Amino acid sequence: MDLPDRARIRIDEGTRVLAVTGAGISAESGLATFRGAGGLWEGHRVEDVATPEGFAADPARVWRFYSARRAAALTAEPNAAHRALAALERRIGDRMLLVTQNVDGLHRRAGSERLIEIHGSLFRTRCARCERPPFPDEALHEAKVPACERCAAGGRRAYLRPDIVWFGELLDSGHLRRVEAFAARPPGGRLVFLAVGSSGNVWPVAGFVDLAAAAGAETWLVNLDPAENAWHFDRVVRGPAAETLPRLLGLEV
Ligand code: OAD
């Protein structure tokens, strides 16, 4: 759909917004997406770097991959699309929930707080074996795979790993419950579902549009290319997020 210059998503006093973002929203911050030409999955096999089996087989390779992504994300800056979603949250407060599949931290740095990082964070590390809580970590573990000191103190050997949800792993059930509760529409309330920069390939997030539609939401997709699940949306706007989203939301940022 070509977007007329004055087209806006109507967000009035009774509207709640459930927004879902993917790698495309960070593309204009200079971070690679996963799929497509030049994407991360072109240079790396998913099973090597984004599965527990890949980590068990070669933890050094996995840390090289995530260290490079940490380094890139640390030097990237949030763009106008991240800032527009943060500005929307400042305006509508708890009528907004933002779910990101991104692990790059750019939404938080743009100021979003009602935020679920549903695939984890590049900037947290956890033990691959014990239940110690994940902890903040910006270090680049390029040369040596870090070991868990807590396991070592108990005489066990275990590696630390990025706190990222890999393929074959479960999402946090508390996160899913929060999304479902938010989508359940109160009588008389209006719900807008907005997906930005995601190819719609990875479940369950690709199905959130259906959850929201079942709750009566008006559904919008802002994406550069046609997404896998585009036909599930009422309105599909093709374009780069940093340019398109602030305009759609009527927010100059
Ligand atoms: P993808 O790389 O699959 O899709 C990114 C989407 O963003 C594509 O459809 C592009 O057309 C679109 N895009 C690119 N540049 C854009 C721009 N400037 N503005 C708007 N859209 C743009 O990334 P995700 O959908 O986020 O999971 O991928 C989902 C998950 O698959 C990721 O979280 C990751 C990956 O495997 C894990 O690593 C667990």
**How far is the CA of 113 from the CAs of 37, 67, 98, 173, 184, in angstroms?**
32, 25, 9, 20, 21
Cα(225)–Cα(50) distance, integer angstroms: 24
- Give the count of beta carbons closer than 10 Å to the beta carbon of residue 170: 7
Mean pLDDT of all residues in 211-234? 93
Testing ligand 1's pocket by substitution, the residue of 101, 121, 172 carrying the most ligand atoms inside 8 A of its CB is 101
Q: 166, 52 in Cβ contact below 8 A?
A: yes
How far, in Å, CA of 194 to CA of 175, rounded?
18
pLDDT at position 12: 92
In which band, very low, low, confident or very high, does the pLDDT at 3 lie, cut at 50, 70 and 90? low
DSSP 28: G
Question: Which member of 44, 119, 141, 232 is catalytic?
Answer: 119
CB 159 within 8 A of CB 147: yes
Question: Ligand 1 mean position to 22 CA, how many Å?
Answer: 5
Q: What's the 198 CA to ligand 1 centre distance in angstroms?
A: 4
Q: Which two tokens stand for residue 5?
A: 């210059």
Assess whether pLDDT exceeds 60 at residue 91.
Answer: yes
Answer yes or no: is the C-beta of 51 below 6 A from any ligand 1 atom: no
Provide, rounded to the nearest whole percent, the portion of the chain with pLDDT above 90.
87
Task: Confirm or reject: Cβ of 145 under 6 Å from ligand 1.
Answer: no
Q: Check whether 214 has a pLDDT greater than 90.
A: yes
Query: Could you give the maximum distance between any two Cα atoms of the chain, in Å?
Result: 65
pLDDT digit string, tens, across residues 119-168: 999 999 999 999 999 999 999 999 999 999 999 999 999 999 999 999 99
Quote the CA–CA distance of 186 and 183 in Å, as a whole number.
Answer: 9
Mean pLDDT, rounded, for 174-186: 91
Does 32 sit in the ligand 1 pocket, CB within 6 Å?
A: no
pLDDT at 188 over 90: no
pTM recorded for the entire structure: 0.95
How is residue 192 annotated by DSSP?
E
In the reported structure, the alpha carbon of residue 26 is separated from the centroid of ligand 1 by a whole-number distance in angstroms of 9
119 a catalytic residue? yes
Pocket test for ligand 1, best of 35, 40, 236 (most atoms within 8 A of CB): 35
In this prediction, residue 38 carries a pLDDT of 83
Residue 175 has pLDDT above 80, yes or no: yes
pLDDT tens readout for residues 4-63: 556 799 999 989 999 999 999 999 999 999 987 788 888 889 999 999 999 999 999 999
**pLDDT, position 105:** 98
Give pLDDT, residue 41: 85
